[in-house]
Structure 1
Amino acid sequence: MAQKAPHKSRNGVVIVIAAMMLFSMFFGAGNLIIPPITGVESGENFLPAILGFISTGVLLPVLAVIAVAITGNDVQDLARRGGRIFGLVFPILAYLSIGAFYALPRTATVSFSSAATPIFGWHSTWAAAGFSAAFFIVAFLMSLNPNGLADKLGKYLTPALLLLLVLLIVLGIFTIDHQTGSAVDDYASHPAATGFVNGYLTMDSIAALAFGILVVSALRYKGLPTGPKLVRGVGLSAIVAGIFLAVIYLGLGYIGNFIPHGAEYSDGAALLAAAANQTMGMPGGIVFGLIVVLACLSTAVGLLGATSEFFNKLVPSVSYRAWLVIFCLISFAVSTTGLETVLAIAAPIVGFLYPPAITLILLTLIEPLIRRRLQWTFVFALTIASIWAALMTLESLNVGASVISPLIGWSPGHSQDLGWFVPTFVAAIVGVIVDLTGGAKKGVPLGGESVADAEVRTGAVSQSRADTL
């Protein structure tokens, strides 16, 4: 018997709930700390800087979710479009970057800076190490059942954090003295491009490629029929979540832009903790810090579960629990180096991942418009984007810079870390020509798999996620 389509009003409720779920998946530690620092460093160039930041921190993740909805594929299947090597290396690096190499350690360091330091006055390395150890022990225990307590916490903590952030932003605008400083470094000469590149550090676009299929499956299990209605539902959920993110980013960035002596704060977490104390007093600052800790803990549980499931699937001989232990230990070790060090370690990895990630997202969205399966377009463009990104990363680390700089320095936007775009665009055009003249078949589903097929493949994990809506 055919499944009855849900009423439109029910569809609307499901989409709004899915949007909140997506917001909670996106909004983690980096979403708190990076916008205020962007506001501080951009000074009088705040507007172009924050708009550039929103381009990669909001618009690109929304497009990534829509791309996943159109294809019904997860990050592994999408990455295979770039060839066997890219299809293996990119997902591994993506999960490591949203896991133990960056996003996971950041949850502990932001929690320490937001709560332990302002509430208890702890600053020492030993205090940070002890806090991180306790944080990851709790995260490990919660990750043993990632769809239980963590999901319940997320349902209540996300709205509470959202309300507190809005309260902080509104109170900050009307109560804190406004002292905008001067733009520094690249924000003085290229604010929009610098904001664009710094938006990479939220890691939301990579996370969207990794987790977008869960939103697709959740809406499908809640009654939205496979096809255009499901794609529209996922798209609307992503847009609503993106609007929430954009408003919060603007507000947090604005606080950083006008808070007195903003450049004196060590990081965005310390700045927001100070702003909470100034606007809501010590009790408000304590509540804000505790909610940030719990929100980061919930995020850590989700990331631990996702990365451990991925690597357990990749290497079945190592159990899920063993991967949990491995990633907790690595995350603890990295987190003890401090927030600034975590960001410094992550920057080269993130800088390498984003050019091919952006290329993969845009090509996935463009392919339906051409109505052909773009086999060589993906291979050519993703290969060039990856090679160019690797060379840019090596140059930024001063590894072979004397040889690399003449090779890639000619490309437009090179000084703003956007030099990969023109070569990748040319490679994509060449690939399109080859695909259009090489007899590519029409009507082949993107990635060779429909949304319905993806539902069968991801059903076990997706059903448990859908039950949390």
Structure 2
Amino acid sequence: MSNSSTTSVRGHEGSILVASMMLFSMFFGAGNLIFPAMLGSQAGTNFWPAVLGFVSTGVILPALAVIAIAITGKDMRALTLRGGRVFGVLFPVLVYLSIGAFFALPRTASVTYSTVVTANFESDSFLSRAVFSAVFFVVAVALSIDPRGIVDRLGKYITPLLLVLLVAMIVLSFFKLGEGEVIPSETYAENPFATGFVEGYLTMDSLAGLAFGIIVLSAFKHKGLKSGPALVKGVSIAAVLACVLLGLVYVGLGAIGHRVEGGQDYSDGAVLLAQSAQLIMGPAGIFVFGLIMFLACMGTAVGLLGSAAEFFNALLPGVSYRAWVILFSLIGFAVSTMSLEQVLAVTGPLIGALYPSAITLIFLTFIEPMLRRKLHYTFTIALAVSMLWAVLMLLAQLMPADNIFEHSISWSPLHAEQMGWIVPTLVAALIGYILDLTTRRKRAVPLGGETQKEAQARMLDLA
């Protein structure tokens, strides 16, 4: 990269640090607390391969997702247009709706309520849940209503307090809890890395990375960091710092679940951590854990509201950013008063079905600059196959056992580990690349509105 881009980044070290803290806060929600602890308790002596699998999809992929958005210089739609016009609109809309207003956003309020109110006051009426959710979303709207202030509000205030509490709880656990060397549960007995890899899906952070990238880009642009290699470098540093923090916290939370006595008897990670906090800190532990959960969920809620509002405002400029924030908060409030088990039954499989295309998109975005060639068929064919395979996997899960969809895809390697889409997608990408090498296209497919000449220049800068 040029010296000018390096100088530009050096002038924004403070902004990069605050942005990394903001990203951590947005990524670190309810699932990010619960899943590592449950993994640690269930993996037993297979803890390290399981946690490394979890980190692959829960840490590395989210960082790559944010950087991929920075490479486009715009938003998720500029990236997904590489798969064609239909994919370019349908995929990001499904991502923002499934991880936003219809699942992850209402879950932030519901989980906070269960941890803070139900656990401490033994109250679980519809009225108390509705009142709590209303207050929760009023605060979230106040923090996200101005997109220019999201970075500072999360990065300077919420994240530091959240990290202090998490570090205190993790460090004290090594003095208060035992060793926890137990036999792995059935799920983690045979292939702990693959199981941890798939469990990392449940954090939804790879999809969230594609969604949150727009906020990071907007924040840096407001701070004066212009598009190009300097912007990519600044966003990349922030993403890596945030995800290193995530990885360390995941290992620490996993260690708590791994070391707590009788950890495999718990079916709920929130209960496991709440009781672990009480063992570690005494009566104050429940309050501390409730505050951790509130800060974690609020940061994620603000990130989801802000990123979804920015995306839909760009997609439909006639509706203002603030109107989208209010609309999504109202939807999130309404869903949060319902049974999340019912919502999860619908959105859970959908989120899993979005992951193959998201991973394919992220990796192809990084491979393209290395090849110094604009890829068209590689993107379209690989993304089409990844999406088709994900739909077949979804239909196979939803139908009774031994169905036609299961038979049509069960031959693929890693199918039992829910990663059967990988080999077909690799083959499709190879076929597409051969076509890109042997076919000359008269008209370049636009990448975020670039001409072919501009795209080639950008890829040479990034390579």
What is the aligned partner in structure 2 of residue 117 from structure 1?
118
What is the aligned partner in structure 2 of residue 87 from structure 1?
88
Distance in structure 2 (CA, Å) of the matches to 1:319 and 1:228 = 30
1:35 aligns with 2:5: no
**Are the structure 2 counterparts of residues 230 and 153 from structure 1 closer, same or farther at C-alpha, using a change threshold of 3 Å?**
closer
TM-score normalised by L of structure 2: 0.87
Contact kept, 8 Å, 1:378 with 1:428, in 2: the verdict is yes
What is the aligned partner in structure 1 of residue 460 from structure 2?
none
Contact kept, 8 Å, 1:267 with 1:340, in 2: the verdict is no
**Are the structure 2 counterparts of residues 247 and 384 from structure 1 closer, same or farther at C-alpha, using a change threshold of 3 Å?**
same
Distance in structure 2 (CA, Å) of the matches to 1:327 and 1:277 = 35
What is the aligned partner in structure 1 of residue 251 from structure 2?
250
Give the counterpart letter for 1:407 in structure 2. S
Give the counterpart letter for 2:72 in structure 1. T
CA distances 1:413-458 after superposition (whole Å, capped 9, x unpaired):
11111000111111100100111111258999955539xx99xxxx
Partner SS for 1:373: coil
Give the counterpart letter for 1:54 in structure 2. V
Distance in structure 1 (CA, Å) of the matches to 2:413 and 2:103 = 30
What is the aligned partner in structure 1 of residue 239 from structure 2?
238
What is the aligned partner in structure 1 of residue 376 from structure 2?
375
Contact kept, 8 Å, 2:108 with 2:301, in 1: the verdict is yes
Structure 2's unaligned 5+ residue stretches are 456-463
What is the aligned partner in structure 2 of residue 347 from structure 1?
348
What is the aligned partner in structure 2 of residue 13 from structure 1?
14
**Are the structure 2 counterparts of residues 316 and 447 from structure 1 closer, same or farther at C-alpha, using a change threshold of 3 Å?**
closer
What is the aligned partner in structure 2 of residue 195 from structure 1?
196
Partner SS for 1:415: coil
**Are the structure 2 counterparts of residues 7 and 426 from structure 1 closer, same or farther at C-alpha, using a change threshold of 3 Å?**
closer
1:162 aligns with 2:158: no
**Are the structure 2 counterparts of residues 147 and 375 from structure 1 closer, same or farther at C-alpha, using a change threshold of 3 Å?**
same
Q: Post-superposition shift, 1:19? A: 1.8
Give the counterpart letter for 2:177 in structure 1. I
Q: Post-superposition shift, 1:161? A: 0.6
Distance in structure 2 (CA, Å) of the matches to 1:125 and 1:303 = 25
Partner SS for 1:57: helix
Give the counterpart letter for 2:123 in structure 1. W
TM-score normalised by L of structure 1: 0.86
CA distances 1:147-177 after superposition (whole Å, capped 9, x unpaired):
5589525521111111110110111121023
Distance in structure 1 (CA, Å) of the matches to 2:229 and 2:152 = 29
Aligned residues: 450
Give the counterpart letter for 1:103 in structure 2. A
**Are the structure 2 counterparts of residues 7 and 439 from structure 1 closer, same or farther at C-alpha, using a change threshold of 3 Å?**
closer
What is the aligned partner in structure 2 of residue 174 from structure 1?
175
**Are the structure 2 counterparts of residues 440 and 253 from structure 1 closer, same or farther at C-alpha, using a change threshold of 3 Å?**
farther
CA distances 1:108-132 after superposition (whole Å, capped 9, x unpaired):
1221233223322335566444433
Distance in structure 1 (CA, Å) of the matches to 2:257 and 2:269 = 8
Give the counterpart letter for 1:408 in structure 2. I
What is the aligned partner in structure 1 of residue 404 from structure 2?
403
Match runs of 1:384-463 below 5 Å: 384-398=385-399, 402-439=403-440, 447-449=448-450
Q: Post-superposition shift, 1:313? A: 4.2
Distance in structure 1 (CA, Å) of the matches to 2:362 and 2:193 = 21
1:359 aligns with 2:352: no
Contact kept, 8 Å, 2:313 with 2:324, in 1: the verdict is yes
Query: Percent sequence identity over matched residues?
Result: 55
1:327 aligns with 2:312: no
Higher mean Cα deviation, 197-206 or 218-227?
Answer: 218-227
Contact kept, 8 Å, 1:105 with 1:342, in 2: the verdict is no
Distance in structure 2 (CA, Å) of the matches to 1:226 and 1:43 = 47
What is the aligned partner in structure 2 of residue 183 from structure 1?
184
Contact kept, 8 Å, 1:352 with 1:393, in 2: the verdict is yes
Partner SS for 2:279: helix
CA distances 1:326-367 after superposition (whole Å, capped 9, x unpaired):
433432343345565554443201111100000000001001
Structure 1's unaligned 5+ residue stretches are 455-469
1:45 aligns with 2:54: no
Distance in structure 2 (CA, Å) of the matches to 1:84 and 1:442 = 15
1:292 aligns with 2:313: no
Distance in structure 1 (CA, Å) of the matches to 2:19 and 2:66 = 12
Higher mean Cα deviation, 83-92 or 204-213?
Answer: 204-213
Give the counterpart letter for 2:336 in structure 1. S
RMSD over aligned Cα, in angstroms?
3.1
Distance in structure 1 (CA, Å) of the matches to 2:316 and 2:441 = 35
Distance in structure 2 (CA, Å) of the matches to 1:339 and 1:316 = 32
Higher mean Cα deviation, 127-136 or 316-325?
Answer: 316-325
